[in-house]
Amino acid sequence: TGKCFYTFRGHSAEIVCLSFNPQSTLLATGSMDTTAKLWDVEKGEEVATLNGHSAEIIALSFNTTGDRIITGSFDHTVAVWDVGTGREQNLLINMPTNNNATEKCSVPCLCVQLWDAVTGTHIATLAAHSKEVLDVCFDYAGQRIATASADGSARVYNAGTKQCIAKLEGHEDEISKVS
């Protein structure tokens, strides 16, 4: 019908990412205000605010059962949160910055780092792009990983073997999102 049921308000800056849980009962939003929020889709109410990052949240996603959510931030950390309590369960370090005093920017991330979200253990590095990786996602079964890059290509990896099984080319410019 195109009818708007709810307008969620509560962030103090732009919302830059969002995700539904697998049951489609919760919506998570990540914001430039350094927080993520969980919203009850049925009631139109805020359920929890996830505080802990020191910079903008630029990516988030629920796990396949919907009891955990992972957030990625410009503070170069990735956090795993318990959806029921809204508490941080684990903090993973993402890509380090280039601390060379002559350079003011971060090292571009040309690869994808895989981590065990429960233990915080590094599992693998997927490296194949020639320019910065801009987005990454798992399929719903957790068997494949897709990446999008500024090099104009996307890649699909087997999550078990960590091998690239498809290289998708054809865009003339960067691919900023993959799903």
Q: Please state, in angstroms and rounded to a whole number, the distance separating the CA atoms of residues 171 and 150.
A: 10
Q: Please state, in angstroms and rounded to a whole number, the distance separating the CA atoms of residues 32 and 151.
A: 26
Tokens read off for 35: 């927080």
List of E strands, 32-132: 36-40, 45-50, 57-62, 68-73, 77-82, 88-93, 111-115, 122-127
Choosing among 1.10.3720.10, 3.40.50.1220, 2.40.128.630, 1.10.110.30, the CATH entry for 11-95 is 2.40.128.630
DSSP 52: -
* Per-residue confidence in pLDDT tens, the chain, 179 aa: 899 888 999 999 999 999 999 999 999 999 999 999 999 999 999 999 999 999 999 889 998 899 999 998 988 888 999 999 999 988 876 554 444 433 445 556 788 888 887 787 889 999 889 998 888 888 888 899 999 999 999 999 999 999 999 999 999 999 988 88
Domain boundaries, the chain: 11-95, 109-178
Residue at 106: amino acid letter: S
Q: Please state, in angstroms and rounded to a whole number, the distance separating the CA atoms of residues 173 and 154.
A: 11
